[in-house]
Amino acid sequence: MLHTADAVVVGAGVIGSSVALELTRGGRTVVVVDKAGDVGHGSTSASSAIIRFNYSTFEGVALAWEALHGWRSWPEHLGHRDPAGLATYHRTGLVLLTRDDAGHGRAGALFDRVGVPWQAWGPAELHRRLPDVDTGSFGPPKPVDSEEFFAPASGEVHGVHTPDAGYVDDPSLAAHNLATAAREAGARLLLRHRVVSVRLLPGSVWRIGTAEGDTVEAPVVVNAAGPWSGRVDEMAGVGADFAVTTRPLRQEVHRVPAPARTAAGVVLADLDLGTYVRPGGGDSLLVGGTEPECDPLEWVEDPDAVDPNPTVGRFAAQVTRAARRLPRLRVPHRPSGVAAAYDVSDDWTPIYDRTDRPGFYVAIGTSGNQFKNAPVVGQVMERLVSAVEDGHDHDATPVRFVAPHTGHTLSLGAFSRLRRVADDAPSSVMG
């Protein structure tokens, strides 16, 4: 069957669903194609869905702070009630722990510029606020099977508290909410359809072929295929001019019983030990990693071949680190949790951009840190697509995006495929 539309979105994760909603709101007819049986089954399904504002650039902080307003007023953002229920934002606050407070000035300056409330908590304040947290500094992170890992603390950690941070309780449901709103607004969803060919026809129309035999034709395509996005780019023949590349990385998040009385009602992002902990709902905690240099990264060739089960080694590494920070945490014998891939860019910053082929756009390289930005990424892509399709030369003069809630003006050049990766660019999920 042939479907025609103004735009095709490849991928119905949280990013593709948001893009579809905003393109539809912008007046385009939209078809979303996804190979999975439902929305939000890719990286999104395994996301820890932590909403935080600690990024290394103004645009990074401003985007996350803008997106918070979408999560806080989720029903209004959607403009439609999903019969499946609504994902919920939990404001818990987040404490970023580092060995010293050397980076706090720069982070604080960005927070102040964007308007993110924050406080520096020295070791004494940390101890007073979070009595169950061991404030020793054990970093830099070490392998948990090394003797050094168990060496006594060599100082104390410092914290940066952002009280408005938190998490969304069900990331797949959040994607579902966005896709349902998009559908209500007129978008069509083609689930269980795997894109196998992407060709530009004469007249600047893209033809998207699926393994199931359906075809979609549209002048605009947005690649939001998460860890599979490199393949979609290859099919479309784009990528040659990218200064920033992406590749999929396997990552695990573990679920453990919360200690009876725990400080971890907040989210802890512990760069000193290379781990993070967030409330997991009920009496559980979710424990993940911040890609400490001592742990090998698990790059994957084929995202379809990623083992979705947690492994004993990763579980022990991440949960043992968390237990060093939360001494009352017990490390269970059996691993429990999820694993998935996310697509990482060279500077752990997404690529929200056009490409060198007319009408082909990418919302990729989300680097394990863009769930939180989903509500605003759709708006960013709509602004970009509209400007470029109207003839704006985004590569020469980056499109500006005025954030509707905060009023900040962001240069979308920060997310360009052509950006130079700075020498001091982020090298972890923190972005």
With CB under 6 A as the contact rule, the residue among 133, 189, 200, 224 that binds ligand FAD is: 224
Q: Is 12 in the site for ligand FAD (CB under 6 A)?
A: yes
Q: Are 157 and 99 in contact (CB under 8 A)?
A: yes
* Minimum gap (Å) between residue 360 Cβ and ligand FAD: 15
Residue 268 near ligand FAD by CB under 6 A: no
Contact (Cβ atoms closer than 8 angstroms) between residue 348 and residue 430: yes
Q: Which residue is nearest to ligand FAD (CB)?
A: 13
Please state the closest distance from residue 175 (CB atom) to ligand FAD, in A.
Answer: 7
Q: Tell whether residue 48 is a contact of ligand FAD (CB under 6 A).
A: yes
Give the nearer residue to ligand FAD in terms of CB position, either 11 or 219: 11
Is there binding between residue 398 and ligand FAD (CB under 6 A)?
no
308: Cα separation from own chain's centroid:
18
What whole-number distance in Å separates Cα of residue 139 and Cα of residue 160? 17
What's the min distance (Å) between Cβ of 395 and ligand FAD?
A: 23
CB of 203 to ligand FAD, least distance (A): 24
Site for ligand FAD in 16-45 (CB under 6 A): 16, 33-36, 41-44
> Looking at 114, 253, 258, 264, which residue binds ligand FAD (CB under 6 A)?
253
Which residues have CB under 8 Å from 34's CB, separation 6+? 10, 11, 12, 16, 41, 189, 190, 191, 192, 193
Minimum distance of ligand FAD from residue 44's CB (angstroms): 3
- CB–CB of 137/157 below 8 Å? yes
Alpha helices in 240-305 (DSSP H): none
What's the CA gap between 219 and 8, in Å, rounded? 8
Considering only CA atoms, which of 315, 321, 310, 254 is closest in space to residue 286? 254
The CA-to-CA distance between both ends of the chain, in Å, stands at 42
Show the 3-state SS of 313-328: HHHHHHHHHHHHHCCC
Site string for ligand FAD, 170-199 (x = CB under 6 A): ------------------------xx----
Considering only residues 341 to 360 of the shown chain, the ones binding ligand FAD according to CB under 6 A are: 342
The neighbour count for residue 169, using CB atoms within 10 Å, is 16
Residue 94 φ then ψ, to 5°: -135, 140
Site track for ligand FAD across 150-169, x = CB under 6 A: --------------------
Q: How far is CA 113 from CA 62, 65, 239, 373, in A?
A: 9, 11, 34, 19
Among the candidate windows 256-264, 289-297, 363-371, 385-393, which touches ligand FAD by CB under 6 A? Answer: 363-371
Packing angle of the helix pair 374-389, 171-185 (nearest 10 deg): 40
Residue from 24, 47, 56, 355 in contact with ligand FAD (CB under 6 A): 47
Q: From the list 9, 222, 340, 376, which residue makes contact with ligand FAD (rule: CB under 6 A)? A: 340
User: Minimum CB separation from ligand FAD for residue 295, in Å?
Assistant: 14
- Of the candidates 299, 277, 276, 324, the residue with the CA atom closest to the CA atom of residue 142: 324
CA 295, 296, 300, 304 torsion-angle sign:
negative
Q: In the complex with ligand FAD, which residue's Cβ is closer, 121 or 342?
A: 342
Cβ proximity to ligand FAD, 157 vs 377, nearer residue: 377
Instruction: Report CA-CA distances (Å) from 85 to 11, 125, 173, 294, 327.
Output: 22, 39, 8, 41, 37
Residue 49 within binding range of ligand FAD, rule CB under 6 A: yes
Among 8, 46, 87, 173, contact with ligand FAD (rule: CB under 6 A): 46
- Which of the stretches 12-20, 308-316, 351-359, 397-405 binds ligand FAD when contact is defined by CB under 6 A? 12-20
53 binds ligand FAD (CB under 6 A): no
Contact footprint for ligand FAD (CB under 6 A)? 10-16, 33-36, 41-44, 46-50, 194-195, 224-228, 232, 251, 253, 340, 342, 366, 368-372
